[in-house]
Amino acid sequence: MIIHHPSGLIWLGNNDGFIFFGSEQNEEFNNELNDFIDNIIIPAAKKVQLKWFEGVGNHEKRNSIIASVFEHRHLGSWLQRVYTLQQGDYKGDTVPIMNHEYELCKISASLLDNKDHSIHNIVFCNPK
């Protein structure tokens, strides 16, 4: 009997992160990761001047495999906090009180069109 352990990785659109998903038991996939990083990811990252990337798994077992597969590389780890806004807590008609040093801009299509060039790093906001 052949047991399939599908696995994969998604290279995020901003190029600085990967989501590893699927079975952590896929030895063929896990064994090829370092070659893939060395031969595909690193050259592509250098072209866009990235010096690091973030890799996360979609479950705890996958995270431990990432640490094991990349144990010879310099790895960092931290906890992430995720906050959610409940619909009942949203108050769309209020204006926050802000320090006079800051300007509040409502995000809109016209703002992102940036015809007045007020956003200097528009490529970060709206990659084309």
Residues 54-88 pLDDT 10s: 888 888 888 888 888 999 998 888 777 778 888 88
Q: What is the pLDDT of residue 83?
A: 82
The predicted pLDDT at position 35 comes to: 94
- 3-class DSSP state for residue 57? strand
Q: Name the nearest CA neighbour of 126 among 114, 116, 95.
A: 114
The SS3 assignment for 84 reads: coil
Res 124: pLDDT = 62
123 pairs with which residues across the strands?
none
Residue 26 in contact with residue 6, Cβ under 8 Å?
Answer: yes
At 98 the three-state DSSP class reads coil
Mean pLDDT of 16-29: 87
* CA-CA-CA-CA torsion sign (41, 68, 14, 23): positive
Decide if 11 contacts 20 (C-beta within 8 A): no
CA angle (12 as vertex; 6, 13 as ends), nearest 5: 135
